[in-house]
């Protein structure tokens, strides 16, 4: 059955092509497995709440008739602005407009959110762009540049809100910097979501070709009900494709956790358990309540443009397992810097078990991708990362620069986590406060940071290791819990390039060293040298010679750093190999430059690397050439358990049996567009 929707329809409609529904929700109430909902161009100011899900063989599909011409938005336009003085206007909105959820009386809050300022879940938008909330009415009349923002020029467009209890209205004051809001498009966010089932278990839905924007979403930590502007809400088999997703207050797409009322933001509400402990509680409760491969996850997010969201482009915990995130453009996330906390990134996923992140272009985010806990069986392949660190020196100083973010952060996971055929160009490329990672055929033009750090809970005087779970291979069932021993990392056939170090980041690195920062070392020096003190496998194996596991003699052998492997890597411009890497190729001089450029809508790598890359051949790597991840005893393999041969490069070209280092099978390929 096909149902038609057209925002311009003048009659009630029955969903036929001749008499279309006016609202998408009218179709969402009755669509059943196998049905398609075709939506005509127009603006749809609604929260689409699908009543039914599809099945694996009969999906329910919602499709924009013309790609990106149907726009689902959580906002309503406000036209009744009255001038106060100068550039300041005011408007009143009846609270009946908001129903049970008023974004302008609801504050952003949750575990790991840093509430350094009042932030409502609602926003005011000028011509599609969110303005800046200020703390006092006085600040509307006298706005100042907000320095942390990546777009300082726009930070003087400000708003303030208060409640008139006598009239039951939300009152707005806004400074439009000389623009007349009654002649511009000014909107306020009204709805908590745009396309999101209120009930769990509505699986096998496809959302294709829509613009989706301006939902008043709440902060989405892993210990809470993780909401997004779009999301499957604890179900299986969604496809979100070819969509333009932007201006969510917190998260654009959520593949996240269902609501556990007894655990929801428990750390915030009940201070007696640390957040890490409540996180473990959430995981075990979810397993008892049906978190399995058969019921949850296996979603696909592809070819979407995801940008200008406050917390994350894509967020998820537990609900995103076995998913594929591919061919997306994710950029300008958390650029307003009005939200702060430990759950921010272009992609922020906990428990990305057997997830594949491939061919994504991720840039200009406070942090590119953050894989937190349980990145087991996770593969990050053929992605291009750049400019994922605060871009302007005035946004940071040497005291805080060490906290600047990176392209990819993997935190307290036991692996196996596979990074292959990627390009990392940010100052800090990969943060490895973790173990069980293999890096194969990448370009890494930034530092590997936080090696041996960032795995404790921060108690100043008591032992506080973070025990994190590992799972049965390719399943959700928990196999055990363990702290992070560090190491168990493998580096094969990579190219490391030292870029010119920005002074404020170099100062931050020095400051981290001086402070003996337990969370990060701020490292922006490229290479594997941070693993100098780690044993080779043979050195580590000797610790267990002649030991049969019996007797009462105490030993440190089970708690020492795990071994590290490195082979076939090339180092440029002063990038530094680990001392025990015997076949490292160190190219002298500072000759290699690397960057990117955009031409006719295509992205090209701009580098002279292949003028200098030695043509020494490397070993063609296979799954069986890489030691399995130590704790889960799982190989670096496909989600179905089959082995991987690393014979396909960044743009899909096949390698020979004796390839060169890096993500390209042949250096001449860099003349082709990356995307």
Q: What is the 3-state secondary structure (H, E, C) of 321-386?
A: CCCEEECCEEECCCCCCCCCECCCEEEEEECCCCCEEECCEEECCCCCEEEECCCCCEEEECCEEE
- Percent of the chain residues past pLDDT 70, beyond the cut: 97
C-alpha distances (whole Å) from 272 to each of 220, 275, 277, 441, 629 are 21, 9, 10, 46, 34
Cα 21 to Cα 606: distance, rounded to the nearest angstrom? 50
Average pLDDT, the chain: 94
Q: Which of the residue ranges 529-533, 544-548, 554-558, 668-672 has the most confident prediction, judged by mean pLDDT?
A: 529-533
Say what the pLDDT of residue 399 is: 45
Say what the pLDDT of residue 116 is: 83
Query: Does residue 271 surpass a pLDDT of 50?
Result: yes
Cα 378 to Cα 51: distance, rounded to the nearest angstrom? 32
C-alpha distances (whole Å) from 533 to each of 46, 560, 562, 578, 583 are 57, 11, 11, 9, 18
The pLDDT tens digits of the residues spanning 427-473 come to: 999 999 999 999 999 999 999 999 999 999 989 999 899 999 999 99
For the stretch 456-463, contacts whose Cβ atoms lie closer than 8 Å and that sit 24 or more positions apart, written own/partner, are: 456/518, 457/274, 457/276, 458/518, 458/519
Say what the pLDDT of residue 13 is: 93
* C-alpha gyration radius of the chain: 26
Cα 87 to Cα 104: distance, rounded to the nearest angstrom? 22
Q: Can you say whether residue 488 is alpha, beta or left, with left for phi > 0 and alpha for psi between -120 and 50 degrees?
A: left
Cα 494 to Cα 577: distance, rounded to the nearest angstrom? 11
Q: Which of 521, 383, 364, 389 is nearest to 449 (CA)?
A: 521
* 278 close to 339: Cβ distance less than 8 angstroms: no
Burial class (CB in 10 A: 0-12, 13-18, 19+), 12: exposed
* Residue 368 pLDDT class (50, 70, 90 cuts): very high
Q: What is the DSSP letter of 54?
A: -
Which residues, 6 or more positions from 406, have their beta carbon under 8 angstroms from its beta carbon?
A: 367, 368, 388, 389, 426, 427, 428, 429, 430, 431, 446, 449
* 468 close to 412: Cβ distance less than 8 angstroms: yes
Cα 537 to Cα 530: distance, rounded to the nearest angstrom? 17
Give the residue, 407 or 615, on which the prediction is more confident.
Answer: 407
Query: Does residue 19 surpass a pLDDT of 50?
Result: yes
The pLDDT tens digits of the residues spanning 112-122 come to: 999 888 899 99
Query: Does residue 402 surpass a pLDDT of 80?
Result: no
Q: What does the block give as tokens for 191?
A: 């709805």
* 4 close to 26: Cβ distance less than 8 angstroms: no
Q: What does the block give as tokens for 619?
A: 């070993």
The pLDDT tens digits of the residues spanning 77-105 come to: 999 999 999 999 999 999 999 999 999 99
Range 480-494 average pLDDT: 97
Give the 3-state secondary structure percentages of the chain, helix then strand then coil, rounded to 5. Answer: 10, 30, 60
Q: Hey, what's the torsion of the CAs at 441, 239, 286, 348, to 10 degrees?
A: 50
| Least trusted range by pLDDT, from 482-486, 556-560, 568-572 | 556-560
C-alpha distances (whole Å) from 49 to each of 31, 296, 425 are 11, 19, 40
Query: Does residue 363 surpass a pLDDT of 90?
Result: yes
Backbone angles phi, psi at 364, to 5 degrees: 50, 45
The pLDDT tens digits of the residues spanning 240-256 come to: 999 999 999 999 999 99
**Cis geometry, peptide bond prior to residue 416 (ω within 30 degrees of 0):** yes
Query: Does residue 396 surpass a pLDDT of 80?
Result: no
Chain length of the chain: 675
Say what the pLDDT of residue 403 is: 58
Say what the pLDDT of residue 390 is: 76
Range 542-564 average pLDDT: 82
The pLDDT tens digits of the residues spanning 621-664 come to: 999 999 999 999 999 999 999 999 999 999 999 999 999 999 99
Range 114-138 average pLDDT: 94
Which residues, 6 or more positions from 635, have their beta carbon under 8 angstroms from its beta carbon?
A: 416, 623, 624, 626, 628, 629, 643
SS3 assignment, position 563: coil
pTM for this structure? 0.96
**Cis geometry, peptide bond prior to residue 359 (ω within 30 degrees of 0):** no
* Residue 221 pLDDT class (50, 70, 90 cuts): very high
Pairing outcome for strands 60-64 and 205-208: parallel
Range 557-579 average pLDDT: 96
* Residue 280 pLDDT class (50, 70, 90 cuts): very high
Say what the pLDDT of residue 398 is: 46
Give the residue, 507 or 378, on which the prediction is more confident.
Answer: 378
Query: Does residue 554 surpass a pLDDT of 80?
Result: no
Q: What does the block give as tokens for 524?
A: 């922006």
Partners of 306 in the β-ladder: 245, 330
Beta strand residue intervals within 210-296, DSSP E: 211-213, 239-241, 244-246, 251-254
Q: What is the DSSP letter of 209?
A: S
């Amino acid at each position: 059955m096909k149902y038609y929707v057209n925002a311009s329809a003048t009659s009630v409609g029955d969903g036929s092509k001749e008499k279309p529904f006016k609202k998408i929700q009218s179709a969402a109430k009755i669509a059943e497995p196998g049905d398609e909902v075709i939506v005509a161009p127009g603006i749809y100011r609604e929260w689409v709440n699908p009543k039914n899900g599809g099945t694996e063989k009969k999906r329910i599909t919602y499709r924009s008739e013309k790609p990106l011409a149907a726009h689902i938005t959580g906002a309503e336009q406000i036209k009744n602005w009255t001038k106060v003085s100068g550039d300041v206007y005011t408007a009143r909105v009846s609270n009946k407009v908001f129903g049970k959820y008023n974004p302008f009386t609801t504050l952003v809050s949750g575990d790991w959110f840093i509430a350094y300022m009042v932030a409502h879940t609602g926003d005011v938008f000028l011509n599609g762009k969110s303005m800046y909330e200020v703390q006092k009415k006085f600040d509307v009349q006298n706005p100042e540049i907000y320095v942390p923002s990546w777009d300082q020029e726009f930070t003087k467009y400000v708003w303030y809100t208060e409640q008139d209890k006598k009239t039951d209205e939300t009152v707005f004051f806004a400074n439009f910097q000389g623009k007349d809001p009654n002649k511009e498009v000014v909107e306020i966010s009204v709805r908590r979501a745009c396309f999101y089932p209120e009930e769990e278990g509505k699986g096998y839905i496809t959302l294709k070709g829509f613009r989706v924007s301006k939902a008043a979403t709440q902060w989405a930590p892993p210990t809470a009900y993780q909401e997004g502007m779009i999301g499957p809400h604890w179900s299986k088999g969604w496809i979100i494709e070819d969509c333009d997703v932007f201006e969510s207050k917190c998260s654009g797409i959520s593949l996240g956790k269902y609501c556990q009322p007894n655990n929801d933001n428990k750390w915030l509400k009940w201070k007696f358990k640390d957040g890490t402990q409540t996180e473990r509680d959430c995981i075990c409760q979810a397993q008892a309540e049906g978190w399995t491969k058969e019921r949850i996850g296996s979603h696909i997010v592809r070819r979407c443009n995801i940008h200008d969201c406050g917390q994350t482009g894509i967020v998820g915990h537990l609900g995103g397992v076995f998913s594929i995130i591919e061919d997306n453009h994710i950029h300008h996330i958390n650029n307003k810097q009005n939200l702060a906390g430990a759950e921010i990134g272009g992609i922020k996923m906990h428990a990305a078990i057997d997830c594949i992140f491939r061919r994504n272009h991720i840039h200009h985010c406070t942090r590119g991708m953050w894989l937190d806990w349980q990145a087991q069986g996770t593969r990050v392949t053929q992605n291009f990362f750049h400019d994922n660190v605060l871009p302007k020196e005035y946004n940071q100083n040497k005291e805080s620069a060490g906290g600047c973010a990176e392209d990819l952060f993997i935190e307290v996971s036991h692996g196996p986590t596979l990074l292959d055929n990627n390009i990392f160009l940010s100052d800090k490329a990969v943060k490895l406060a973790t173990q069980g990672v293999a890096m194969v055929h990448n370009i890494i033009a930034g530092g590997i940071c936080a090696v041996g750090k960032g795995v404790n809970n921060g108690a100043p005087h008591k032992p506080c290791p973070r025990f994190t779970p590992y799972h049965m291979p390719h399943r959700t069932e928990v196999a055990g819990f363990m702290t992070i021993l560090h190491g168990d990392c493998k580096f094969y056939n990579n190219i490391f390039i030292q870029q010119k170090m920005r002074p404020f980041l170099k100062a931050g690195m020095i400051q981290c060293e001086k402070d003996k920062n337990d969370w990060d070392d701020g490292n922006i020096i490229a290479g594997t040298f941070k693993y100098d003190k780690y044993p080779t496998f043979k050195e580590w194996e000797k610790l267990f010679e002649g030991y049969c596991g019996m007797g009462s003699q105490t030993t440190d052998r089970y708690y020492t750093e795990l071994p590290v492997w490195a082979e076939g890597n090339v180092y440029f411009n002063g990038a530094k190999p680990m001392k025990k890497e015997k076949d490292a190729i160190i190219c002298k001089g500072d000759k290699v430059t690397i960057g990117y450029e955009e031409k006719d809508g295509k992205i090209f790598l701009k580098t002279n690397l292949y003028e200098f890359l030695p043509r020494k051949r490397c070993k063609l790597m296979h799954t069986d050439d890489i030691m399995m991840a130590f704790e889960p005893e799982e190989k670096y393999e496909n989600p179905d358990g089959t082995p991987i041969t690393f014979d396909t490069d960044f743009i899909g070209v096949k390698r020979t049996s004796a390839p060169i280092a890096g993500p390209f099978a042949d250096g001449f390929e860099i003349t082709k567009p990356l995307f």
